[in-house]
Amino acid sequence: MNGPRVLQVGALSERFNRRMAEEYGAEPYWKQADGAAFLAGHGAEFEVLVTSARFGCTEAMLAALPNLRAVCSFGVGYDAIPLGPLRQRGIPLSNTPDVLNECVADLAMGLLIDGARRIAEADRFVRAGNWRIGNFPLATRVSGKRLGIVGLGRIGQAVARRSAGFDMQVRYHNRRPVAGSPYGYAASLVELAQWADFLVLTCPGGPATHHLVNAEVLAVLGPKGLLVNVARGSVVDEAALVAALAEGRLGAAALDVFEREPQVPAALLDMPNVVLLPHVGSGTEETRLQMEELVIANLQAFIDKGELLTPV
Protein backbone atom coordinates (compact mmCIF):
# COMPACT_ATOMS: atom_id res chain seq x y z
CA MET A 1 0.00 0.00 0.00
CA ASN A 2 1.03 3.58 -0.57
CA GLY A 3 1.89 5.78 2.41
CA PRO A 4 3.80 5.16 5.59
CA ARG A 5 3.90 1.73 7.23
CA VAL A 6 1.64 1.61 10.27
CA LEU A 7 2.09 -0.52 13.39
CA GLN A 8 -1.02 -1.07 15.54
CA VAL A 9 -0.10 -1.96 19.12
CA GLY A 10 -3.30 -3.54 20.44
CA ALA A 11 -6.68 -4.70 19.20
CA LEU A 12 -9.63 -2.34 19.44
CA SER A 13 -13.04 -3.06 17.86
CA GLU A 14 -13.28 -5.54 14.99
CA ARG A 15 -14.54 -2.67 12.83
CA PHE A 16 -11.50 -0.53 13.62
CA ASN A 17 -9.01 -3.40 13.26
CA ARG A 18 -10.46 -4.34 9.89
CA ARG A 19 -10.38 -0.78 8.61
CA MET A 20 -6.80 -0.26 9.78
CA ALA A 21 -5.73 -3.45 7.98
CA GLU A 22 -7.68 -2.86 4.77
CA GLU A 23 -7.15 0.87 4.31
CA TYR A 24 -3.73 1.39 5.87
CA GLY A 25 -2.12 -2.03 5.83
CA ALA A 26 -1.54 -1.76 9.59
CA GLU A 27 0.59 -4.51 11.10
CA PRO A 28 -1.12 -6.08 14.19
CA TYR A 29 1.65 -6.04 16.78
CA TRP A 30 -0.50 -7.95 19.30
CA LYS A 31 -0.47 -11.00 17.00
CA GLN A 32 3.32 -11.34 17.09
CA ALA A 33 4.52 -14.31 19.11
CA ASP A 34 7.68 -12.42 20.11
CA GLY A 35 7.13 -8.66 19.92
CA ALA A 36 10.72 -7.72 20.73
CA ALA A 37 12.10 -10.06 18.09
CA PHE A 38 9.62 -8.74 15.54
CA LEU A 39 10.65 -5.14 16.19
CA ALA A 40 14.32 -6.06 16.08
CA GLY A 41 13.83 -7.39 12.57
CA HIS A 42 11.18 -5.01 11.21
CA GLY A 43 11.00 -1.95 13.49
CA ALA A 44 12.78 0.29 10.99
CA GLU A 45 9.96 -0.24 8.49
CA PHE A 46 7.30 1.60 10.51
CA GLU A 47 6.68 5.35 10.51
CA VAL A 48 3.38 5.60 12.38
CA LEU A 49 2.33 3.91 15.62
CA VAL A 50 -1.37 3.50 16.42
CA THR A 51 -2.12 2.67 20.05
CA SER A 52 -4.55 3.52 22.86
CA ALA A 53 -4.66 4.84 26.40
CA ARG A 54 -4.95 1.23 27.53
CA PHE A 55 -2.12 -0.33 25.51
CA GLY A 56 0.24 2.67 25.30
CA CYS A 57 3.81 1.74 24.37
CA THR A 58 7.16 1.37 26.10
CA GLU A 59 10.44 3.23 25.75
CA ALA A 60 11.97 0.01 24.44
CA MET A 61 9.33 -0.16 21.73
CA LEU A 62 9.98 3.43 20.69
CA ALA A 63 13.72 2.78 20.60
CA ALA A 64 13.08 -0.14 18.24
CA LEU A 65 11.22 2.17 15.83
CA PRO A 66 14.05 4.41 14.56
CA ASN A 67 12.01 5.88 11.69
CA LEU A 68 8.88 6.64 13.69
CA ARG A 69 7.30 9.96 12.69
CA ALA A 70 3.95 10.05 14.56
CA VAL A 71 1.88 8.32 17.24
CA CYS A 72 -1.93 8.26 17.05
CA SER A 73 -3.67 7.15 20.26
CA PHE A 74 -7.25 6.11 20.98
CA GLY A 75 -8.45 7.77 24.21
CA VAL A 76 -7.75 10.95 26.12
CA GLY A 77 -5.16 9.73 28.61
CA TYR A 78 -1.55 9.32 27.54
CA ASP A 79 0.14 8.36 30.79
CA ALA A 80 0.95 4.93 29.28
CA ILE A 81 2.97 6.60 26.53
CA PRO A 82 6.49 7.89 27.37
CA LEU A 83 6.34 11.54 26.32
CA GLY A 84 10.01 12.29 27.07
CA PRO A 85 11.47 10.12 24.27
CA LEU A 86 8.82 11.39 21.84
CA ARG A 87 9.65 15.01 22.57
CA GLN A 88 13.37 14.38 22.33
CA ARG A 89 12.86 12.95 18.87
CA GLY A 90 10.28 15.55 17.81
CA ILE A 91 7.59 12.92 17.27
CA PRO A 92 4.03 14.28 17.61
CA LEU A 93 1.32 12.43 19.53
CA SER A 94 -2.43 12.73 19.00
CA ASN A 95 -5.26 11.63 21.29
CA THR A 96 -9.06 11.78 21.05
CA PRO A 97 -10.25 14.67 23.26
CA ASP A 98 -13.76 16.12 23.51
CA VAL A 99 -15.66 13.30 21.77
CA LEU A 100 -15.87 11.29 24.99
CA ASN A 101 -16.52 14.12 27.46
CA GLU A 102 -20.28 13.73 27.64
CA CYS A 103 -20.31 9.95 28.05
CA VAL A 104 -17.67 9.99 30.79
CA ALA A 105 -19.57 12.77 32.59
CA ASP A 106 -22.80 10.78 32.24
CA LEU A 107 -21.12 7.77 33.82
CA ALA A 108 -19.63 9.86 36.62
CA MET A 109 -23.11 11.06 37.55
CA GLY A 110 -24.45 7.53 37.27
CA LEU A 111 -21.76 6.26 39.62
CA LEU A 112 -22.43 9.13 42.02
CA ILE A 113 -26.15 8.37 42.13
CA ASP A 114 -25.51 4.64 42.42
CA GLY A 115 -22.97 5.09 45.19
CA ALA A 116 -25.18 7.44 47.18
CA ARG A 117 -28.55 5.73 46.64
CA ARG A 118 -27.01 2.22 46.76
CA ILE A 119 -28.69 1.17 43.51
CA ALA A 120 -26.40 -1.75 42.61
CA GLU A 121 -26.48 -2.96 46.21
CA ALA A 122 -30.29 -2.76 46.26
CA ASP A 123 -30.44 -4.70 43.00
CA ARG A 124 -28.38 -7.48 44.57
CA PHE A 125 -30.66 -7.34 47.63
CA VAL A 126 -33.74 -8.02 45.49
CA ARG A 127 -32.07 -10.73 43.39
CA ALA A 128 -30.98 -12.56 46.54
CA GLY A 129 -34.58 -12.71 47.76
CA ASN A 130 -33.85 -10.55 50.79
CA TRP A 131 -36.76 -8.17 50.17
CA ARG A 132 -39.13 -10.92 51.29
CA ILE A 133 -37.32 -10.97 54.62
CA GLY A 134 -37.03 -7.26 55.36
CA ASN A 135 -36.57 -3.76 54.01
CA PHE A 136 -33.41 -2.46 52.37
CA PRO A 137 -31.36 0.00 54.51
CA LEU A 138 -31.72 3.73 53.93
CA ALA A 139 -29.34 5.45 51.52
CA THR A 140 -28.07 9.02 51.03
CA ARG A 141 -29.86 11.87 49.25
CA VAL A 142 -28.15 13.23 46.13
CA SER A 143 -29.97 16.52 45.56
CA GLY A 144 -28.66 19.59 47.34
CA LYS A 145 -25.36 18.01 48.36
CA ARG A 146 -21.81 19.41 48.10
CA LEU A 147 -19.88 18.19 45.06
CA GLY A 148 -16.11 18.43 44.93
CA ILE A 149 -14.48 17.95 41.52
CA VAL A 150 -10.79 17.14 41.19
CA GLY A 151 -9.72 18.36 37.76
CA LEU A 152 -12.05 20.96 36.25
CA GLY A 153 -11.14 20.23 32.64
CA ARG A 154 -13.61 19.40 29.90
CA ILE A 155 -14.99 16.31 31.65
CA GLY A 156 -15.02 17.97 35.07
CA GLN A 157 -16.98 20.91 33.68
CA ALA A 158 -19.45 18.51 32.05
CA VAL A 159 -19.98 16.83 35.44
CA ALA A 160 -20.50 20.23 37.07
CA ARG A 161 -23.13 21.15 34.47
CA ARG A 162 -25.02 17.94 35.17
CA SER A 163 -24.93 18.56 38.90
CA ALA A 164 -26.97 21.73 38.40
CA GLY A 165 -29.99 19.51 37.81
CA PHE A 166 -29.52 18.19 41.32
CA ASP A 167 -29.12 21.65 42.88
CA MET A 168 -25.62 20.82 44.10
CA GLN A 169 -23.06 23.25 45.40
CA VAL A 170 -19.84 22.80 43.40
CA ARG A 171 -16.22 23.47 44.27
CA TYR A 172 -13.12 22.18 42.51
CA HIS A 173 -9.40 21.61 42.92
CA ASN A 174 -6.88 22.20 40.14
CA ARG A 175 -3.23 23.15 40.03
CA ARG A 176 -4.52 26.67 39.45
CA PRO A 177 -7.95 28.36 39.24
CA VAL A 178 -9.88 28.15 35.97
CA ALA A 179 -10.37 31.66 34.60
CA GLY A 180 -14.02 32.69 34.51
CA SER A 181 -15.28 29.57 36.29
CA PRO A 182 -18.48 30.12 38.30
CA TYR A 183 -17.46 27.42 40.79
CA GLY A 184 -15.53 27.85 44.01
CA TYR A 185 -11.82 27.04 43.88
CA ALA A 186 -10.07 25.05 46.61
CA ALA A 187 -6.30 25.44 46.52
CA SER A 188 -6.00 22.46 48.86
CA LEU A 189 -7.38 19.03 47.97
CA VAL A 190 -7.67 18.21 51.67
CA GLU A 191 -9.77 21.34 52.12
CA LEU A 192 -12.02 20.33 49.22
CA ALA A 193 -12.46 16.76 50.48
CA GLN A 194 -13.30 18.03 53.96
CA TRP A 195 -16.03 20.27 52.51
CA ALA A 196 -17.49 17.80 50.00
CA ASP A 197 -20.16 15.13 50.41
CA PHE A 198 -19.14 13.61 47.08
CA LEU A 199 -15.63 13.81 45.59
CA VAL A 200 -15.44 13.12 41.84
CA LEU A 201 -12.08 12.56 40.14
CA THR A 202 -11.82 13.75 36.53
CA CYS A 203 -8.14 14.74 36.43
CA PRO A 204 -5.43 13.30 34.14
CA GLY A 205 -3.24 10.40 35.21
CA GLY A 206 0.55 10.38 35.21
CA PRO A 207 3.31 11.29 37.67
CA ALA A 208 1.83 14.69 38.57
CA THR A 209 -1.35 13.13 40.00
CA HIS A 210 0.00 9.78 41.22
CA HIS A 211 -1.71 8.94 44.56
CA LEU A 212 -3.06 12.49 44.73
CA VAL A 213 -5.96 11.04 46.70
CA ASN A 214 -4.15 9.55 49.68
CA ALA A 215 -5.02 8.43 53.20
CA GLU A 216 -5.29 12.02 54.45
CA VAL A 217 -7.74 13.01 51.71
CA LEU A 218 -9.87 9.91 52.30
CA ALA A 219 -9.87 10.54 56.06
CA VAL A 220 -11.33 14.02 55.72
CA LEU A 221 -13.84 12.92 53.09
CA GLY A 222 -15.00 10.79 55.97
CA PRO A 223 -17.36 7.98 56.94
CA LYS A 224 -20.29 9.61 55.16
CA GLY A 225 -18.32 10.65 52.09
CA LEU A 226 -18.42 9.10 48.60
CA LEU A 227 -15.44 8.87 46.25
CA VAL A 228 -16.15 8.59 42.50
CA ASN A 229 -13.25 7.86 40.15
CA VAL A 230 -13.60 8.12 36.36
CA ALA A 231 -10.06 9.49 35.93
CA ARG A 232 -7.19 7.01 36.30
CA GLY A 233 -6.61 4.36 38.93
CA SER A 234 -3.18 5.79 39.64
CA VAL A 235 -4.76 8.98 41.05
CA VAL A 236 -5.88 7.06 44.15
CA ASP A 237 -3.68 5.26 46.65
CA GLU A 238 -5.59 2.00 46.27
CA ALA A 239 -4.18 0.39 49.42
CA ALA A 240 -5.25 3.43 51.45
CA LEU A 241 -8.69 3.32 49.81
CA VAL A 242 -9.20 -0.34 50.69
CA ALA A 243 -8.14 0.30 54.28
CA ALA A 244 -10.39 3.36 54.65
CA LEU A 245 -13.41 1.45 53.36
CA ALA A 246 -12.68 -1.67 55.41
CA GLU A 247 -12.29 0.35 58.61
CA GLY A 248 -15.35 2.54 58.02
CA ARG A 249 -13.33 5.73 57.63
CA LEU A 250 -14.80 6.28 54.15
CA GLY A 251 -18.48 5.89 53.44
CA ALA A 252 -18.47 4.50 49.91
CA ALA A 253 -16.66 4.40 46.59
CA ALA A 254 -17.82 4.12 42.98
CA LEU A 255 -14.96 3.22 40.68
CA ASP A 256 -14.54 2.85 36.92
CA VAL A 257 -10.72 2.68 37.04
CA PHE A 258 -8.09 0.86 39.07
CA GLU A 259 -4.34 0.95 39.60
CA ARG A 260 -3.55 -2.40 37.98
CA GLU A 261 -6.34 -2.98 35.49
CA PRO A 262 -7.89 -5.45 34.94
CA GLN A 263 -6.81 -6.56 38.42
CA VAL A 264 -9.15 -5.32 41.15
CA PRO A 265 -8.24 -5.68 44.84
CA ALA A 266 -9.99 -8.77 46.16
CA ALA A 267 -11.13 -6.91 49.26
CA LEU A 268 -13.24 -4.52 47.15
CA LEU A 269 -15.18 -7.38 45.56
CA ASP A 270 -16.89 -8.23 48.84
CA MET A 271 -17.67 -4.70 49.98
CA PRO A 272 -21.38 -3.82 49.57
CA ASN A 273 -20.65 -0.08 49.65
CA VAL A 274 -18.43 -0.16 46.56
CA VAL A 275 -19.57 0.05 42.92
CA LEU A 276 -17.12 -1.54 40.48
CA LEU A 277 -17.09 -0.99 36.71
CA PRO A 278 -14.61 -2.31 34.10
CA HIS A 279 -13.30 1.06 32.80
CA VAL A 280 -16.29 1.83 30.58
CA GLY A 281 -16.41 5.63 30.86
CA SER A 282 -16.42 6.07 27.08
CA GLY A 283 -18.08 2.72 26.46
CA THR A 284 -21.03 3.61 24.27
CA GLU A 285 -21.51 2.73 20.62
CA GLU A 286 -21.72 6.38 19.63
CA THR A 287 -18.65 7.60 21.48
CA ARG A 288 -16.38 4.68 20.61
CA LEU A 289 -17.22 5.17 16.93
CA GLN A 290 -16.38 8.87 17.19
CA MET A 291 -13.10 8.01 18.91
CA GLU A 292 -12.18 5.53 16.19
CA GLU A 293 -13.01 8.05 13.50
CA LEU A 294 -10.84 10.68 15.18
CA VAL A 295 -7.86 8.30 15.37
CA ILE A 296 -8.22 7.59 11.65
CA ALA A 297 -8.72 11.28 10.86
CA ASN A 298 -5.45 12.04 12.67
CA LEU A 299 -3.69 9.27 10.77
CA GLN A 300 -5.04 10.45 7.43
CA ALA A 301 -4.14 14.09 8.17
CA PHE A 302 -0.58 13.01 8.93
CA ILE A 303 -0.40 11.05 5.67
CA ASP A 304 -1.85 13.93 3.66
CA LYS A 305 -0.23 16.94 5.31
CA GLY A 306 2.32 15.67 7.82
CA GLU A 307 0.23 17.14 10.66
CA LEU A 308 -2.06 15.76 13.37
CA LEU A 309 -5.52 17.20 13.99
CA THR A 310 -5.55 16.83 17.78
CA PRO A 311 -1.92 16.86 18.93
CA VAL A 312 -1.22 16.55 22.65
Q: Which residues are catalytic?
A: 232, 261, 279
Rounded to the nearest angstrom, the gap between the alpha carbon of residue 27 and the centroid of all alpha carbons in its chain is 27
Is 214 within 8 Å of 189 (Cβ atoms)?
no
Q: Which residues 6+ apart lie within 8 Å of 306 measured at CB?
A: none
CA distance linking residue 5 with residue 217, whole number of Å: 47
Is 75 within 8 Å of 103 (Cβ atoms)?
no
Q: Which of 261, 128, 264, 161 is nearest to 253 (CA)?
A: 264
Largest separation between any pair of C-alpha atoms in the chain: 69
Secondary structure (3-state) at 257: coil
DSSP string, 9-53: -S---HHHHHHHHHHH--EEGGG-SSHHHHHHHHGGG--EEEEET
Burial per residue of 46-83, b for 16 or more beta-carbon CB atoms within 10 angstroms, e otherwise: bbbbbbbbbbbbeeebbebbeebbbbbbbbbbbbbbbe
